[in-house]
Structures are given as C-alpha cells and as structure tokens.
Structure 1
Amino acid sequence: MSSAPHPFSIPDYRRYWLARFMAVIATMSMVVVIAWQVYDVARTDYGMSPKAAAFQLGLLGLFQFIPLALLTPVAGWAADRFERRRVAIFANMVDAGVALGLGVLTYNDALTLPLLFVLAAFHGVARVFVGPSMAAIAPNIVPPESLPRAIALGSIAWQSASVIGPAVGGLMYAQNAAGSYWMTVALLILSSISIATVRPVFPPPMTEKKHPVRMMVEGMKYTFSERFLLGAITLDLFAVLLAGATALLPVYARDILHVGPDGLGQLRAAPAFGAAIVAIYLSFRPLKHNVGAKMLWAVVVFGIATIGFGYSHIIGQYLFGDAKIDWLNMGASMAVALSMLAILGAADMLSVYVRGSLVQLNTPDAMRGRVSSVSGLAISASNELGELQSGFAAALLGPVGAVVFGGAGAIVITGIWARLFPELKNARTFEPQFRQSEKTP
C-alpha cells in the first residue's frame, strides 16, 4: 500500500474529485431544502399535525425511490455500455433542471406537495444515473493498489461536501429561499465542466453483442450469486432502511428541538462532519486488517448512536436542564443531538469505506457499472425507503419512537447478517476473496 501512488498525484483523479465535491454540495443542499419545504408546507399550508406531516416525509422518500427502483438496471447498463463521463454529465444536467424548476416555484411562492413530490422524483432519476457512472470512473483512473485510498479521498469529497451543502443550504434558505436553488444550478454546471476535463473512460469492449436487457439481468445475477457481494450490499440496505433518523430531522428541527431551518442545516451536516473526520483519517491510515469485523462493529455503533439521537432532547434536559451551553452557543439538547449524529456519521463512514473497497475490488471491471448500480440501488433503497419507513413509523409511534425503533433494528440486523454471511466477518483484508481463500491452508 505504501508504494502505491497517491491518488491526488493523478491529474484526472483531482478533477474527478473536484467534480464530485461540487455536485454533492449542490445535491445535499437541495435534499435538505426539499425535505424542509415538504414538512413546512404540510404543517403551514395544509394544516397537518406533526405526525401527519412526518408521514409526508415518508411519501417524499417513496417518490424518490420509485425511479431508482425502475431505472437502476438501466443506469448500470448505461455505465457499462457508454462513455462514463457523458452519463455522469447527463445526470448532473437533469438535476440542474430540477433545481432550476424548484427555484422558480419557490421564488413565486407556488410550491405544493404534489409539485414537490414530482420534482423529487426527477431528482431521483438524476441520482440513479450519476451513481454508477461516477463509481465506475474511479477504478479506471487510479491503479488498483491505490483504490482503497482513492475511495477514502472520494468519501472525504462526499462527506465534507455533505457538511457544507446542508449547512449552506439551510442558511441560504433562511435568508433567501430561492437562493439555495440558484447555487445548486451553478455548482452542478461547474461539476459537469470539471468531469468533462477527465480523460474519456470507456467500459471494456464487449466480446459478444448482447441485448441490453440481458446485460442488466447478468449484473443482477452476478451480484446475487456472489454471497460476499450480496452480504456486503444488503447489510447496508437493511440496517439503514431501519435506522433512517435523518428522514425525521425536519420534525426534530421544527417541533422537538425548535431550531428552525438554520438548525436543520446543522443537524443534516452533523453526520457528514463525523464521517469526514473518519474519511480524512482513513486517507492517511487506510485499514489493512480485519476489515470485515470492523465493518460489522461500525454498523452496531451506528445503531447505538441512532438511539442516542432519538432521545437527545431527553438526555440534554436530564444532564443540563434547559441551560444553554455558552461555549457552543446552543441548547443542551441540540448539542447532544449533534454529537449523536456526528458519531452516527463516523460509524457509517467506516462501514461505507470498507464495503465500497470490498465491492469494487471484488468486481470485474466489465461488471463494475452494473454491480455499482445494484449497490447504489441498495444504498438508495436504504435511504429513500428508510424515509418511507420512518414516516410510517412516526405516524404510528411518534417521531422519537420511530428513531429509537430503527436504531435497535439496525443492531439486530447486524447480528443476523454476521451469522448469515460469515464471509463478511472473515474478510481479513481488501484483497479479493477468492485470492484470500487460495491462501487459506
């Protein structure tokens, strides 16, 4: 690992990293503002109760997931069939169009729940295409021995942008509601220009001509036939599906912690802050040993921190009463909430880093786009369907009950997966598993 060239010494990777950084700032800003608008419009314009408005957040997740579920095989096929930069640029420009539409509607005070849901669905369309194409580019512009570090650096781009995006989006929305969308449009255009300067990244040539549907099916079959890949991908799917605390952040910001859109931006940024710290550490000190077990324990910590966030307002009042923590310039409950979310994000980052490295290095290049699309579908399903699950659970159990139930569920799922897929805990290094098995006496 030490002899591998640093990814930032490769000009194409630097431009790729910058493109990803700008795009994530843009999209994360848009995500937090859309969620706030859905909840606020439901409460203000439609007169819904907190439980009913939280249910609308669940529907928001559903509307974003439907295009992901339908188009993921197409997106994976496109990444393995066409020049990958062009697919990513196309997706960025679709997302810029969505942001432009939301900006115009916000400026004219013309937003309704149906319009928000429809535009969120188009946002989902853009995300489903950008994920596999961008994931498939990195392994083609850095040598294999540098890929784990490149993934860590890519995670720094993602997570640091995920800190900046929500915070800036929340602040800009509080000052000028439509301004956050104008920023998104500009950043997505700049991201497209940056990725266009990377050398062309074509998928490997096909040895035989295959029907697109057959290629899509092959990608799904390959993923589900490889137990190691299946276990790594589905662990994230079910753990985050249950522990979707971020879906209910607008509820906590508006009606539990009472911190408004500014506070929502801080809450949305806190997991990314914790994740960015871990990603920076891993870029200097990549994991080398017992990577599978560390991934499983990270998911357990993720669940515990989720439970802590659910009870943050109770913990804060128990420890400090209603006192304000002067040096943090915030209430005790808010400080506890931000701390729990930062720990949650740090644990998730470690899990994502290990899983991403294992999946990429255990997948042939000719299949990377399709396998990345399946992995992306699992991640998106865990996020968007997690929002749906959280919305439904909040309608039944209340927001706090829904968050706590989800955190406990993530812990249980990790224990089950450790037994169902022993390949995960037995993964010692990032080396492809078939090679590790060859060394086992």
Structure 2
Amino acid sequence: MDFAHSARSADLLERVTRFVRAEIEPVEAEHHRELARLDNPWVVLPRVEQLKARARAQGLWNLFLPAESGLSTVEYAPLAEAMGRSLLAPEVFNCNAPDTGNMEVLHLYGSPAQQDRWLRPLLDGTIRSAFCMTEPDVASSDATTMAATAIPDGDEVVLNGTKWFSTGVGHPHCAVAIFMGLTDPTAPRHAQHTMVLVPLDTPGVTVERMLPVFGRHDEPYGHGQVSFTDVRLPLDSVIAGVGRGFEIAQGRLGPGRVHHCMRLVGLAEKALELACVRATGRVAFGKPLADLGGNRERIADARIAIDQARLLVLNAAWKLDTRGLDGARAEVSQIKVAVPSMALSVIDLAIQLHGAAGLSDDFPLAAAYAAARSLRLADGPDEVHRGVVARLELAKYRRESR
C-alpha cells in the first residue's frame, strides 16, 4: 500500500489548507459569536454563502464524491483532515455531514427523478438535508429494534414514528430528510426496513424540538426530534425499493466513517496546535507550561497518537478503495473506536493547558470536545464496532481450527 498523495490530491490539499487557514479560520470565532448574539441563531449568515461561493469558484467543491471529484477515498482523506480543523469548513466546501452521506445514497441508489429533485440541489449547495434513523424509545445501536414504520399502501407509503438526534434538521435550508422505518417484521432480518425521501414540509412531519449536546445546539444545523404522523408520500419516494433500507445504510456508512474520522484527525491537530502555542507562551511558577508537570510527555504522546490514528484511517480508506466495504469492515470499525478516543484525549490535554479558558467559547476546544464525544455514538457506538472487530478476528481462528 502507498499513502503518498497523488499529484491531484497534493494540489487540492495545498489549496484546501490555504483556504481554511486564510479564509475561514480568521473569521470563524467572530462567526460563532455573531450567531450566539442573535435572538434566532437558526440562520445562515452572509459570510457563509460568500465563503461557499469563493470555494466553489476555486474548484474546492463536492470533493468527497468520487463521481464529482474523481478522487478515491485515500485521496480525499487528507482533504477531510484539512477541513476538520474548522467546524465551519466542511459546509463551505459542501462536504459536511449528513449531506455527504445523503448525497452518496442518492448517487448510488436514487432513481433519476430522485436525483433530479434532490441530489442536484444538494450538490449545488442550495438545500441541506437530514438523516432520520435514531429513535428515543429503542436501542438505536441495534437497527433491527427500530419502531418507526414505513408501510406501503397502494401507490403510497405511510410513515409513523419519532426520530431524534436528526442532525441538520434545524438548518433553515434543510428541505428533505431520509427516513428509515420498519416495513415487514416477518421478512429476513436485513430486509425488513425501507428508506424514504421526505420533504420536510409534508403534512404530518413536525420538528418537535432541538436537542442540546453538552448544552450546545450547534446552530444553525442542530439535532432535532422529529415526529412523523400518518405521513403519506408517493411510493416513488422510496429509495431503491421496499426492504432495502439496511443495505443502503451499510453502504452509506462505510465512506462516511472515514470522512468523520479524518475530520477528527484534523480537529485533533488543531487542538494540539493550540495546546503547543499555549504551552510555550504561558508562564506559571517561573516556567513555560511546557516545562511543568509532565506536559512535554503529554504533548509527545498526543503527536504519536494523532499520527497513529491517521495511518489507521488511511489503511481503512485504502481497503475500502481496493476491497470494498465487505473487505474493510474490521478496519472501518477499528477507526470508529480509535479515532474519537484519540481526539478526546488530545482535546482534553489542550483544555487542561488553557485552564478555565479552555471551557469557554473564547477558544474552540469546548465545541471540539462535544463534537468528538458525539462521534463515539454517531454511526454506531464503540461497543458495536468492537463487537464487529472481535467477531471478524475470532472467525479467522474458527476457520483454522476445522
């Protein structure tokens, strides 16, 4: 395997990095402060659209999707890391979750009509989307326990149930959600569920509330609780076909987990950068913080952990490219366990070096910690991924013992 950047990836990486550092990072803190001052922060500030226009004009747009960018997963991974330094950057490049995953679903499984109606506006960045899978009353780590339903009725499909932590549903431009529901509990386990495209203005769809994460609402994206009450849609709103929801979910989550993890590597790099600046510039007890209390060793451990995590993700990306999801399941699960824990550790170090300021909004560390901690649950909790890794590892020895 070779993780050296291709010529195209190296060029894009240099341009994305320059854009993030020169265009986004200098305005990001004020951007979040301005949103916080508003009575209604669920808006898109003009600077976001201006940044998006400049990024698109420079060809830094939809880089996550191979059909649009021509990049493999390995080639895109360092670009995701560069974007991950900023919580604002992914939208600026039209590479933010959950829109990336939803666009992949529509590209791979959507009908021509679904692609015309929803994929093209998403690729243009004129609308946003949400993904409604997690539910409040069941263990959503096991999708087969899902209670919400998607029942065909003649030439319609009827949706009922409650979803929550539906990321992105608070965005003022969010126009469509992908809903996953139980269709036939008597079918084979992985053929019971269906995915449906739901315009958010459909009668019966109600965003009940926006849910905080560690007291943060992540405006203007947010994480909503959404009820679906006798929501009727044409049967052609079903993606790929009735009963194919689980198949689509698995296909959606493979590359998406790589994207999440590489963004977290970038976020950890940003946190370590802030930690080092603080450790060398702040003096206590007559010494720089870097020379107190084992901080040098902690900084060294953070550098080692970040580099290890990056290589682990690149390995998973390479296997996705060369073997497909079936040949990379263990590696994708490994990174979902390892990378969020690494990022939390590095961000925690940076917070500690900043003291009380690290807990405030004067620095991006508290928001970074909330984002990293969320990723230990999103796209499957650690326990599920450890189970996958263990099952695949043990299977090797069961075969050999026969």
Q: TM-score range by the shorter chain?
A: 0.3 to 0.5
Q: Which has the higher strand share?
A: 2
Q: Which has the higher helix share?
A: 1
Greater length-normalized contact order (CA 8 Å, ≥ 6 residues apart): 1
Tell me the TM-score normalised to structure 2 length. Answer: 0.35
